[in-house]
Amino acid sequence: MCLKILPFNKTLLKKDWKMTKWVAWLVAIVLFFAVTLGVINTYNNYQRTLKETEEHPEHYRKRVVDIDEDREYYEDFDIEEYKISLIDALDDGFKRLSGTEVFLIVFVPIAVATLLFGEEKRRKTFEVLSTMPFTRFEIFFNKVIIAFVNVFVPFLINALIMIVALGFSKGLREFYSTGLVMYWLGTNSFRLFVMLSFSLLFATLTGTSISQAVLTLIFFIFPIGFTLLLGMNMSVWGYGVYVIEEFLDKFGSYTLPAVLDRMEYIPIAYHIICGIIMLIGAKLLFDRNKLERSGETLEFESIETFFKVGVAVCTSLLTGVLFTGFGEGIMYSSGNTYTILGYIIGIALGWLAASYSIKLNRAKG
């Protein structure tokens, strides 16, 4: 019943899938080689090691140095211990993100949202869509569906491969379980959901693919990056940074990068609610997007000043720290003249860069 109310449109779904499906396949392949292949090969690797230890036990003997008794001896390879270490490593692998997974979870939602929104704005194909018999909500809704399919499907495919492998190999069941794979799929789906909602929000705030991708990434790291910048500046002026450390300890898990942490440290309900709010916000902003602003850095003129001030402040904080270091390097003193100079130059540079970016992409009437 609910599905009937929702504005699924096969034509739009097919079109958006065609535009982005390559991302899903590429991510699925990367994930297969980075995660799945290693997991489903665990039993084979274990068997091979087992065989080799039987054929060449001398290669696997462990040299032990007993300092107390001042002697050294060789211990036989403990296959059980090895097995447990493999099980632990897999368990840890399913529960903690690898570098590749972090990369995929951060960048794939940004890329998919950019392809679905920023690229349509840049190429002005949104103009064609808006004259066709689709409502704005239909266009947005079907894009969101395809975005989620794109980011979830690669993880789902790989989870299925790992589960199917369990069915084919009895030995593999000694190392991991369907539950563990589902945990991996579930936790990563949660992370992807939050990250994609955030990316979609920025898709409706920006007018080009480049500004969309860059601003999404900047604001992803912004809460932590800004706090650290603030901390560095406080230490330049002689204030203790414990306030910042305390702040990060208390509130760090409520920032977006925290979703990349282990699940036990993440306030899951809070992030899911934020994700839903961001999705609703994206829908409301998309309704207010004006197509004449497609191709501009920002979709809304009203946030241009905020953007310029934000860039100017962040740049000044950064250049303040850089100039302090530079000043200390050449004058061997910790005077604040260079810091203040850094702030002034940073404000000017940041303001000019933000203004230039807006002016460069200013749409023509």
Partner 1 sequence: MGVIRAKNIDKFLGGVKILDNVNLNVKQGSIYGLIGPNAAGKTTLIKTLVDIYKPDAGEVLIDKEPISDNKRIKSRLGYVSDFQYLYPTFKVKEIVEFYKGAYLLWNDERYSQLKKLFKLDENKKIKYLSKGMKTQLAILLNLSIMPNVLILDEPTSGLDPVIKKKVLNLIVDEVSTNETTVLISSHNLGELEQICDHIGIIHEGRVLLEESVDNLKSSVRKIQVAFKVEIPEEIKSNEHILKIESVGKIHQIIVRDNLDDVIENIKKYNPILLETIDMSLEEIFIHKMGGEGYVFEDIAL
| CB of residue 363 to partner 1, shortest distance in Å | 7
Choose one: 122-130, 205-213, 265-273, 318-326; the region binding partner 1 (CB under 8 A): 122-130
| CB of residue 85 to partner 1, shortest distance in Å | 48
Quote the CA–CA distance of 304 and 52 in Å, as a whole number.
66
Three-state SS at 20: helix
Please report whether residue 298 would count as binding partner 1 according to CB under 8 A. no
| CB of residue 362 to partner 1, shortest distance in Å | 7
Give the tokens for residue 251. 């509130």
Please report whether residue 135 would count as binding partner 1 according to CB under 8 A. yes
Please report whether residue 136 would count as binding partner 1 according to CB under 8 A. yes
Give the tokens for residue 259. 């979703």
Choose between 7 and 223: whose C-beta lies nearer to partner 1. Answer: 7
Give the tokens for residue 167. 């069915």
Q: Are 188 and 101 in contact (CB under 8 A)?
A: yes
Q: Which residues pair with 30 in a beta bridge?
A: none
Give the tokens for residue 107. 């960048």
| CB of residue 227 to partner 1, shortest distance in Å | 37
Q: Are 67 and 196 in contact (CB under 8 A)?
A: no
Choose one: 63-71, 126-134, 264-272, 333-341; the region binding partner 1 (CB under 8 A): 126-134
Please report whether residue 173 would count as binding partner 1 according to CB under 8 A. no
Q: Is 80 exposed, middle or buried (0-12, 13-18, 19+ CB in 10 A)?
A: exposed
Sequence-distant (≥ 6) Cβ neighbours of residue 85 within 8 angstroms? none
Please report whether residue 51 would count as binding partner 1 according to CB under 8 A. no
Quote the CA–CA distance of 45 and 39 in Å, as a whole number.
10
Please report whether residue 352 would count as binding partner 1 according to CB under 8 A. no
Q: Are 59 and 52 in contact (CB under 8 A)?
A: yes
Please report whether residue 125 would count as binding partner 1 according to CB under 8 A. yes
Q: Determine which residue in the list 1, 65, 132, 330 makes contact with partner 1, applying CB under 8 A.
A: 132
Quote the CA–CA distance of 208 and 305 in Å, as a whole number.
18
Q: Are 185 and 156 in contact (CB under 8 A)?
A: yes
Choose between 88 and 127: whose C-beta lies nearer to partner 1. Answer: 127
Choose between 11 and 334: whose C-beta lies nearer to partner 1. Answer: 11
Question: Per CB under 8 A, which of residues 317..336 are in contact with partner 1?
Answer: none
Choose between 135 and 334: whose C-beta lies nearer to partner 1. Answer: 135
Question: Per CB under 8 A, which of residues 221..250 are in contact with partner 1?
Answer: none
Choose one: 88-96, 140-148, 212-220, 290-298; the region binding partner 1 (CB under 8 A): 290-298
Please report whether residue 362 would count as binding partner 1 according to CB under 8 A. yes
Choose one: 84-92, 99-107, 148-156, 356-364; the region binding partner 1 (CB under 8 A): 356-364
Please report whether residue 305 would count as binding partner 1 according to CB under 8 A. no
Q: Determine which residue in the list 52, 72, 88, 292 makes contact with partner 1, applying CB under 8 A.
A: 292
Please report whether residue 360 would count as binding partner 1 according to CB under 8 A. no
Please report whether residue 17 would count as binding partner 1 according to CB under 8 A. no
Handedness of CA 36, 39, 40, 44 (dihedral sign): positive
Q: Are 207 and 293 in contact (CB under 8 A)?
A: yes
Q: Which residues of 144-172 are buried (b: 16+ CB within 10 A; e: fewer)?
A: bbbbbbbbbbbbebbbebbeebbeeeeeb
Choose between 298 and 317: whose C-beta lies nearer to partner 1. Answer: 298
Please report whether residue 364 would count as binding partner 1 according to CB under 8 A. yes
Quote the CA–CA distance of 145 and 196 in Å, as a whole number.
11
| CB of residue 15 to partner 1, shortest distance in Å | 5
Give the tokens for residue 231. 């901390």
Choose among 129, 147, 149: nearest CA to 139.
129
Choose one: 159-167, 266-274, 284-292, 326-334; the region binding partner 1 (CB under 8 A): 284-292
Interaction site with partner 1 (CB under 8 A)? 10-11, 14-15, 18-19, 123-125, 127-128, 130-136, 290-292, 362-365
